[in-house]
Amino acid sequence: MGIVGLGRIGRAVARRCRAYEMRVLAHDVAPDPAYAASHGIELTSLERLLAESDFVTLHAPHVRETDGLIDAARLRLMKPTAVLINTARGGLVDEAALYEALAARRIAGAGLDVFRREPPTGSPLLSLDNVVLTPHAAGSDLASEAATGRCCVDSILAVARGGAPSSTLLLNPEASAAARTRRRLVSP
């Protein structure tokens, strides 16, 4: 498995892959060698990751530097048996180049739930039999939206009362702890 972007979601994917004793390669712009070593993840260049991975999964942000990150040249590095998975951001992949690689069977397949233009109406990717396309919001329903709203309100009320949101809801709990410490130091 090749993981592009070893943040919170990339790390969660890596843990699951390692549970199945998969070899995990990862590329990240801000690598954490200690984390990678302790979890059996091999940090490497993007080019090597693409060349050696059977599956490549993208978990990077879409910023100017990553726009079209997976382009025709990088798709040519992939094995003909490889599958590209993008559940991060549509702009990471040059969709025209991906279409060409899939149509020519230069890579085996792709799984996409994000697109540069959403919904992907009229996309040539829709015509291919070696790509799976799903909506990014497939897990959203009325119950999950209501639960999200309750969590937001509970978190706001907790902070307003001088506390903190539940640690299970915080992406970076260390920032919340640091903010509380700063408030205590400057409070009269």
One-character DSSP codes across 108-158: SEEEES--SSSS-TT-GGGG-SSEEE--TTTT--HHHHHHHHHHHHHHHHH
Angle at 47 between CA 57 and CA 76, to 5 degrees: 85
Q: Which of 11, 27, 62, 89 is catalytic?
A: 89
Site of tokens 């001088």: 162
Both structure tokens of 42: 């091999």
Query: Which 3 state secondary structure label does DSSP give 125?
Result: helix
| Catalytic position from the list 47, 118, 145, 182 | 118
48 is catalytic: no
How far is the C-alpha of 38 from the C-alpha of 112, rounded, in Å?
30
Residue with tokens 């690598």: 31
**Residues paired with residue 58 on neighbouring β-strands, in sequence order:** 4, 86
Q: DSSP H helical segments within 1-141, as ranges?
A: 8-19, 33-38, 46-52, 72-77, 95-103
In the residue annotation, 118 being an active-site residue is answered as yes
Going by the DSSP 8-state scheme, the letter that residue 103 receives in this structure is H
Q: Is 21 a catalytic residue?
A: no
The residues annotated as belonging to the active site are 89, 118, 136
